[in-house]
Copies of this chain bind each other. A is one copy, B any other.
Amino acid sequence: MDKVANISVVMVGAGNLATHLAKNLLNKGFSVVQVYSRTEASAKTLATQIGAEYTTQITDLHPEAQLYICSLKDDALLQLIPQLTMNNPDALWLHTAGSIPMQVWAGHAQRYGVLYPLQTFSKHRQVKFSEIPFFVEANNPTDLSLIEQVAQKLCDKVYRADSEQRKGLHLAAVFACNFTNHLYALANELLIEHHLPFEALLPLIDETARKVHQLSPHEAQTGPAVRYDRQVMDNHLAMLNDAPDMQRIYQLLSESIHNRNK
C-alpha cells in the first residue's frame, strides 16, 4: 500500500497554481478532501473538477486533514496564517511561495514547511507539471522526507532548499525568466519597427535556451559585447537614439558582458 498517496489534503487557494497542484495530486492518488477560496466561484470550480468539498469560510476548514497546502497571494497568506492553522494546529502546513520564508509558520503550527514549484504560469498556457522542479523545506526531518515524497509523486526533480536558497532561486528566476521575456519584448519592438515578424526570431530564441543545456552560459556567450566590437556596438547604440531606455539597457548589459569576459 502506498502510504504517501493516502494522505488527505486540503487545498487552501484556488488560483492557477492551486488548481494545477490539486489536479495533479488527485491524478497521483492523493485524496484532496476540500478546497478553500474566499471567492465562491473559484472554490466551487476547482472543487467540482476534483470531486472535493469546498468552503469560503476559514472556520469551516476540514479539521482532520493531514496536509494543508496554502497557495495564496503573498499578502493573503501572511494575513491568514493565524486563522488557518487554528483549525488543525497538529497537521502539516505548507505554503508554495518562492520569496516567503518558512518561519512565517512558526508559533502558529507545530509542523510546517514549503513546497515551491519553480515555473512561470500564464493563463491560456498548459505546462507539463512533471517537468517542473520542486523545492522543499520543512521544520523537522520527518516532514521534510514526507514533503519530498509528495513532491516526487508530482514531478521528476525535487531539491531541498532552505529559505535563503529559495530567495536566491526566486531572484535568479527573475533574471532568467521575467527579464529574459522582457528582452524578447524589446526585440519584438525592433522587429515591428523593421516590418519583420517575431516568428523569424524564434529559432534563435530556442537555440539560445537549448545551448545552456550543454554549455555553461559563460561558455555560450556570443555577440559584439563579448568581442567588444566597438564599431558594431556604436552603430547599435545610434539605432536606439529614439528609445533611450533600450539604449541604456544595451549599454549596461554590454558592459556587464564585457567585464565578465575580458
Query: How many copies of this chain sit in the oligomeric assembly?
Result: 2
A190 to B217, CA, bound (A): 13
Q: What residues on B are CB-neighbors of A135 within 8 Å?
A: 200
Contact B181 A221 (CB under 8 A): yes
| A186 interface hit (Cβ, 8 Å) | yes
Q: What residues on B are CB-neighbors of A181 within 8 Å?
A: 208, 211-212, 217, 220-222
Further 20 A-B residue pairs, CB within 8 A, beyond A182-B256, A185-B217: A99-B232, A99-B235, A119-B203, A120-B220, A124-B215, A132-B203, A165-B194, A165-B195, A167-B239, A171-B239, A172-B191, A174-B224, A175-B184, A176-B183, A177-B207, A178-B223, A179-B253, A180-B180, A183-B183, A205-B212
Interface, chain A (partner B; CB < 8 A): 74, 99, 118-122, 124-125, 127, 131-133, 135, 157, 159, 161, 164-165, 167-169, 171-188, 190-191, 193-196, 198, 200-226, 232, 235-236, 239-240, 245-246, 248-250, 252-253, 255-257, 259-260
